[in-house]
Structure formats: C-alpha cells, structure tokens
Amino acid sequence: MDIHHLVKMANQIGDFFAAYPDHDEAVRSIGMHLKNSWEPRMRRQIIDYVHQTGGPDLKPPVREAILGLESRTAVSGEAPGDD
C-alpha cells in the first residue's frame, strides 16, 4: 500500500482520538485501533517508515502510537506486525 495513503489514514485516526482529554489515553487508543484494524503488513510498513524518515508528516500522537506498537510487540515476543 502507498505509504502516503497509510500516513493519511493514520493521521485521520489521530484526529478522531485527539478529542480525548488525556494525551496518554489518546495515544493508547490510536495504537489499539492500528493493532486491531490494520493488517500486519500495513503496521510493519508504517513502523518502517517512521524508522527510516522519522515520520515528519505524522501527527505527534500518531507517531508516538506507532512507536508504541513496535515496543508492545517486542515485549510480548511477537514479531512486529504479526497477529
């Protein structure tokens, strides 16, 4: 999938959860949505994108959630992006 499309979709998810009054809850909710709704290859692609470029066009909470996805999979022993 085109990375620009993934970035756009991730930022739209971030816009939805931006209304949450608690920043940490918003970041967790973005991450959960990405984990539960995106295919593993989509998650892997956006994680790789953040590592390669820093994700300059991602909104800060979205970037934070994406990096959190990677750390959660490392702690659980899953390969990043696997279900």
Phi and psi (nearest 5°) for 6? -60, -40
Residue 25 domain flag: yes
**Cβ-proximal residues to 49 (8 Å cutoff; 6+ apart), any chain:** 3, 6, 7, 55
Residue 81 domain flag: no
Residue 15 domain flag: yes
Residue 36 domain flag: yes
User: Residue 8 is part of which domain span?
Assistant: 3-76
- Mean pLDDT across the stretch 21-36? 97
- Global pTM reads 0.83
Residue 56 domain flag: yes
Residue 83 domain flag: no
Handedness of CA 68, 33, 58, 61 (dihedral sign): negative
Residue 82 domain flag: no
For residues 15 and 23, what is the distance between their CA atoms, to the nearest angstrom?
12
Q: In this predicted model, what pLDDT tens digit does every residue of 57-77 receive, in sequence order? A: 999 999 999 999 976 554 344
- Mean pLDDT across the stretch 10-32? 97
Residue 40 domain flag: yes
Q: Are 70 and 47 in contact (CB under 8 A)?
A: yes
